[in-house]
């Protein structure tokens, strides 16, 4: 039985949220517990659990609603009280956007938001980097191995997580996080998630070491039985091929047993989009901004 909850996102009701998350037909990395908890303060996120759904409400920089989490196919959308007055919804996964359009007809207006599309990759592609398609990526990995030896990959134990926090702090100094609201917020999210690692089921991570010093790390989270999301990936400056090597090592180790790796969105950052496209995604989890018009009598 899901309790009635209307509070800021916290870990106090993690079990209730995860029960609804498991029932959600399409698992967007935006809606993982680690993501909404990590970024909860930055976006001013609240969750409202009732009638078999969890509605996420963002208050910063302006009030707006996200998509609900739960079994979308068990809802009478035509009579859903949350939609009666209409409104604007962001980060709406494609399956729900199309379901609303089917159920509510002309009341639903869709706007494609390319910057929020999530990049989906075949785990085998990222783990093996086989063939001419990935020749340049493989060259970077080979250069890393030639310079630093066989990859020293370590799962994120408690001791390794301490090293990750040190590298993250150094990375923020190199990139002047204090001068960027988004980088500063990401830094806070990483620290929050790592500090509460054992309270968030499904988290996985790994790090690369060079001569005993951490060189890079990746943090991910299980989305479902066949897909793994990647939240954060950082590397030490001045190490050739460190990002390509971290990507491959994480896909090989943490990604083993999954068919798909979800490496999140590009937020319309052109350089990030180009970098993500060079890894040749096999598909996207498309998302929309949806405007629902008020119900008329």
DSSP string, 229-292: EEEEEEE-TT-TTHHHHHHHHHHHHTTTT-SEEE----TT-HHHHHHHHTT--SEEE-EEEEEE
Q: Which residues pair with 64 in a beta bridge?
A: 58
Residue 280's pLDDT is what? 98
- Kindly report, residue by residue over 22-34, the tens digit of the pLDDT: 999 999 999 999 9
Residues with Cβ within 8 Å of 186's Cβ and at least 6 positions away in sequence, in order, are 177, 232
Residue (of 173, 252, 159) closest to 209 by Cα position:
159
Residue 68's pLDDT is what? 97
Residues of the chain with CATH 3.40.630.30: 5-117+286-292, 119-264
Residues with Cβ within 8 Å of 31's Cβ and at least 6 positions away in sequence, in order, are 21, 24, 56, 66, 67, 69, 91
CB-CB contact of 121 with 282 (8 Å)? yes
Residue 2's pLDDT is what? 53
| One pLDDT digit (tens) per residue for the chain, 297 residues | 555 668 999 999 999 999 999 999 999 999 999 999 999 999 999 999 988 999 999 999 999 999 999 999 999 999 999 999 999 999 999 999 999 999 999 999 999 999 999 999 999 999 999 999 999 999 999 999 999 999 999 999 999 999 999 999 999 999 999 999 999 999 999 999 999 999 999 999 999 999 999 999 999 999 999 999 999 999 999 999 999 999 999 999 999 999 999 999 999 999 999 999 999 999 999 999 999 999 986
Residue 4's pLDDT is what? 65
Distance separating alpha carbons of residues 186 and 23, to the nearest angstrom? 28
Residue 166's pLDDT is what? 97
Specify the CATH number of the domain 119-264: 3.40.630.30
Q: Would you tell me how many other CB atoms lie within 10 Å of the CB of residue 181?
A: 10
Specify the CATH number of the domain 5-117+286-292: 3.40.630.30
Helix (H) or strand (E) holding 128: helix 123-128
């Amino acid at each position: 039985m899901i309790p009635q909850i209307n509070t800021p996102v916290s870990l106090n009701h993690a079990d209730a949220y995860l029960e609804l998350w498991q029932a959600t037909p399409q698992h967007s990395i935006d809606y993982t517990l680690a993501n909404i908890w990590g970024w909860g303060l930055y976006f001013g996120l609240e969750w409202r659990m009732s009638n078999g759904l969890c509605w996420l409400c963002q208050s910063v920089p302006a009030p707006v609603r996200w998509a609900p989490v739960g079994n979308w196919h068990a809802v009478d959308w035509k009579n859903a009280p949350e939609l009666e007055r209409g409104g604007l919804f962001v980060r709406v996964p494609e399956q729900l956007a199309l379901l609303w359009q089917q159920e509510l007809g002309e009341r639903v207006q869709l706007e494609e938001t390319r910057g929020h599309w999530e990049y989906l990759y075949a785990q085998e592609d990222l783990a093996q980097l086989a063939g001419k398609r990935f020749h340049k990526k493989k060259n970077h990995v080979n250069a890393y191995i030639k310079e630093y030896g066989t990859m020293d990959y370590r799962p994120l134990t408690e001791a390794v997580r301490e090293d990750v926090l040190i590298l993250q702090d150094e990375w923020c100094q190199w990139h002047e996080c204090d001068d960027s609201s988004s980088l500063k917020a990401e830094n806070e999210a990483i620290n929050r998630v790592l500090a509460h690692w054992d309270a968030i089921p499904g988290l996985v991570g790994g790090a690369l070491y060079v001569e005993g010093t951490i060189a890079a790390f990746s943090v991910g989270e299980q989305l479902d039985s066949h897909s793994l999301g990647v939240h954060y990936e950082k590397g030490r400056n001045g190490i050739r091929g460190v990002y390509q090597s971290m990507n491959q090592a994480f896909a090989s180790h943490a990604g083993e047993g999954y068919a798909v790796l979800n490496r999140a969105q590009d937020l319309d950052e052109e350089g990030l989009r180009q970098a993500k496209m060079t890894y040749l995604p096999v598909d996207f989890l498309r998302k929309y901004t949806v405007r629902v018009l008020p119900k008329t009598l």
